[in-house]
């Protein structure tokens, strides 16, 4: 799909700090809340680094009510999205898109295992509440560095009982995916939201257990990459366009800002719609997506423009876009 155009103004009705690094926001669109299902996210448009950039945040809880609830973790070494959100106050306005869902909850599997890493609890909380309301067989595991990062689940012990397990790494408790999968029904599903190292560990254990690939479903966040973000140049020879992507902005957003029509959807490195062909690389690619395979990343012939970056130079890229106004 092309760059979204149906942005709607929304008011920050309220905010509350859930932990030293996590803050919840209630957003009220001027024309009302659109229907959504658990697992959905909303995109918001924020002023970042002298431009405007887009961020996606999962909706918290269950549908209903007159506001969208999102939770944002403040990350110092980020591209600026969390800092921009944390600068908002009650009464401020930002633009939002209608909710989308690429992480739907299925009712078919005989058992569900939900695993959250830190702020990854946001889409899974509503799923757990929905499964509990159905009387479904499920368990929810929430991993975090410290107890104060177990936002939303600290008060749910009476609701979920022994179906809720906490893993606090500073207390020596870490998730063992092999052990978790050993107790999961052979046709059970794993729904996971967390950082890339957690996803990598889950996928490796899933492969070792020879489980069906379609029953492992996930969302990711915090595409921090392996190296610190830095500015890099991009050349599009078909369009005669040379741009610079600053550290705090994504390649995708800068391309769209310069009028390049892009296919994009998740903007988190998951769907692959925004992937572009690499013609020449000057420096190294810092792949921050989960769409390309390890072999494709090593080959360096494609990159996902929503999250991936170049370190130490720039890149020459090819797109299918043509300027209908008489350019290339």
- Say which CATH number the domain at 42 has: 2.40.30.10
Instruction: Report mean pLDDT in 10-residue bins for the chain, 328 residues.
Output: 70 95 96 94 84 86 94 78 90 94 87 95 95 94 94 88 94 96 96 89 95 90 69 92 89 90 83 92 89 88 92 90 45
- 268 found inside a domain: yes
Query: Same structural domain for residues 21 and 85?
Result: yes
- pLDDT for the residue numbered 177: 97
- 302 found inside a domain: yes
CB atoms within 10 A of CB 311: 15
Residue 163 sits in a domain of what CATH number? 3.40.50.80
Query: Same structural domain for residues 199 and 123?
Result: yes
Final residue in a domain of this structure, among 38, 72, 96 = 96
Query: Same structural domain for residues 125 and 89?
Result: no
- pLDDT for the residue numbered 2: 42
- Give the angle subtended at the CA of 161 by the CAs of 158 and 164, to the nearest 5°: 110
Query: Same structural domain for residues 151 and 211?
Result: yes
Residue 303 sits in a domain of what CATH number? 3.10.20.30
- 227 found inside a domain: no
Q: Are 306 and 266 in contact (CB under 8 A)?
A: yes
Query: Same structural domain for residues 271 and 291?
Result: yes
- 270 found inside a domain: yes
Query: Same structural domain for residues 173 and 248?
Result: no
Query: Same structural domain for residues 83 and 53?
Result: yes
- pLDDT for the residue numbered 189: 96
- pLDDT for the residue numbered 78: 62
**Which domain does 125 fall in, by range?**
112-220
- pLDDT for the residue numbered 326: 41
DSSP string, 166-185: EEEGGGT----HHHHHHTS-
- 165 found inside a domain: yes
- pLDDT for the residue numbered 77: 60
Number of domains in the chain: 3
- pLDDT for the residue numbered 225: 63
- 204 found inside a domain: yes
Q: CA 157 to CA 91: how far, in whole Å? A: 34
- 277 found inside a domain: yes
Q: CA 219 to CA 58: how far, in whole Å? A: 10
Beta bridge partners of residue 114, listed in sequence order: 140, 191
CA dihedral angle for residue 201, residue 207, residue 211, residue 216, rounded to 10 degrees: 40
Query: Same structural domain for residues 175 and 266?
Result: no
**pTM attached to this predicted model:** 0.79
Query: Same structural domain for residues 123 and 162?
Result: yes
- 191 found inside a domain: yes
Q: What is the CA radius of gyration of the chain?
A: 20
Quick one: which of 83, 36, 29 has its CA closest to 61? 36
């Amino acid at each position: 799909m092309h760059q979204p155009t149906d942005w709607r103004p929304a008011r920050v009705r309220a905010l509350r700090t859930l932990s030293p690094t996590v803050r919840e926001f209630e957003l009220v669109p001027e024309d009302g809340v659109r229907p959504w299902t658990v697992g959905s996210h909303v995109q918001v448009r924020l002023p970042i680094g002298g431009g405007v950039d887009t961020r996606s945040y999962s909706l918290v809880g269950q549908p209903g009510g007159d506001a969208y609830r999102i939770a944002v973790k403040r990350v110092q070494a980020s591209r600026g999205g969390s800092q921009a959100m944390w600068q908002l106050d009650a009464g401020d306005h930002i633009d939002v898109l209608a909710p989308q869902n690429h992480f739907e909850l299925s009712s078919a599997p005989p058992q569900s295992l939900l695993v959250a890493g830190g702020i990854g609890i946001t889409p899974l909380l509503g799923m757990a509440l929905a499964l509990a309301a159905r009387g479904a067989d499920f368990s929810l595991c929430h991993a975090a560095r410290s107890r104060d990062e177990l936002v939303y689940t600290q008060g749910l012990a009476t609701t979920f009982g022994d179906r809720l397990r906490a893993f606090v790494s500073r207390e020596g408790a870490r998730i063992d995916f092999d052990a978790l999968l050993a107790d999961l029904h052979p046709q059970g599903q794993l729904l996971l939201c967390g950082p890339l190292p957690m996803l990598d560990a889950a996928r490796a254990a899933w492969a070792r257990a020879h489980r069906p690939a379609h029953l492992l479903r996930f969302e990711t966040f915090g595409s921090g990459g392996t190296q610190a973000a830095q500015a890099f140049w991009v050349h599009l020879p078909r369009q005669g366009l040379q741009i610079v992507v600053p550290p705090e902005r994504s390649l995708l957003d800068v391309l769209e800002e310069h009028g390049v029509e892009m296919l994009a959807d998740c903007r988190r490195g998951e769907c692959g719609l925004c992937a572009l062909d690499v013609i020449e690389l000057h420096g190294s690619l810092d792949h921050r997506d989960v769409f390309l395979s390890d072999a494709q990343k090593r080959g360096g012939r494609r990159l996902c423009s929503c999250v991936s970056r170049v370190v130490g130079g720039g890149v020459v890229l090819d797109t299918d876009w043509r300027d209908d106004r008489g350019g290339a």
